[in-house]
A and B are shown apart, each in its own frame.
Chain A
Amino acid sequence: MENNKGEFAKINVTPLTDVAFTLLITLMLVTSYMAVKQPPFRVILPDVETVEPRGADVVTLDLDEKGENLAINGYIIKWDNYIKVLKEEAMRDPYRLLLIRADKGTPHGVVMKVLSDIKKMNSELILEDKESFSKIAFGTRKKR
């Protein structure tokens, strides 16, 4: 091998590194803030234009297209058992937002069944001042 001597054109990689690290840090911060578990099955969220401010403290409830599968906080739960799991979540911290991520093809009746079950659960759960999951939101995607 010939010994490399003399002057070489060198690319200055420092700005590139700067940009890469800044991007990395930004994305790390954003993802940690948005740390919400993904649905364990395929859910195509409805597209919307409205964007509401988001918080991190949520309980997620996912519904698939046919309304057959249901997941709470990323874990598939049987329909017979889901209110029990929700009740446990409500007991842990009742003032969190309940994020219902239903597929855009899910029948509205299934979503309403979940909502009325939660209402029923609230009447059984006696909390000090407020009902549990008083804030409910539907998971959506920003129209692009």
Chain B
Amino acid sequence: MIRKKKRIKDTDFELDLTPAISVALILVLIFITGATQIFQTWLTVTSPRVRKAPQVIEKEQKTEFKVNIHLLSSGQILLNEEVITQKKLDSLLPELMIRSATGLVLVSADSEVEHGKVVEIIDLAKQKGAREVALLKRVK
């Protein structure tokens, strides 16, 4: 092919891209503002259910470290029925998770406790290695 060495003159047809860019940028802005939900995540939990056949469980019983966290409306945290500070819970949980065969953490709370606090505990448990978090309803 023979290339034309002729310089393109100013008078030649040029596509004006400015309106296209402005439309594209406006669309980008719309999507950015509308995309707040992109930052939404979720945490899966297991709802309480009846565990059946205790005889079968007895046969397969292993040394299981139970991790039962309860939040009191006063703000205190109970780990296996004992009061514990948030800091101590942070350091104890990974150890308990290593020893736990199932990696199950049971979480319960008083009904007045804020949902955010419960989610914080679920998040902490997952961060420290819990494979499953189950929510329990505590009967008074």
A residues apposed to B, CB below 8 Å:
5, 7, 13-14, 16-17, 20-21, 23-24, 27-28, 30-31, 34, 36, 38, 45-46, 48-52, 54, 63, 97, 99, 102-112, 115-116, 118-119, 135-142, 144
Contacts and interface: CB of A to CB of B under 8 A. Distances in A.
A106 B41 contact: no
22 contacts: A14-B17, A17-B24, A38-B37, A46-B115, A46-B116, A48-B123, A49-B127, A54-B41, A54-B42, A105-B114, A105-B115, A105-B116, A107-B112, A107-B113, A108-B113, A108-B117, A109-B111, A109-B112, A115-B135, A116-B137, A119-B49, A138-B45
A34 B44 contact: no
A10 to B, nearest CB: 9
Given A20-B21, A111-B118, 18 more contacts: A14-B17, A20-B28, A27-B28, A27-B31, A30-B35, A30-B38, A34-B38, A36-B40, A38-B37, A48-B43, A54-B41, A103-B116, A108-B109, A112-B111, A112-B135, A118-B47, A135-B44, A142-B40
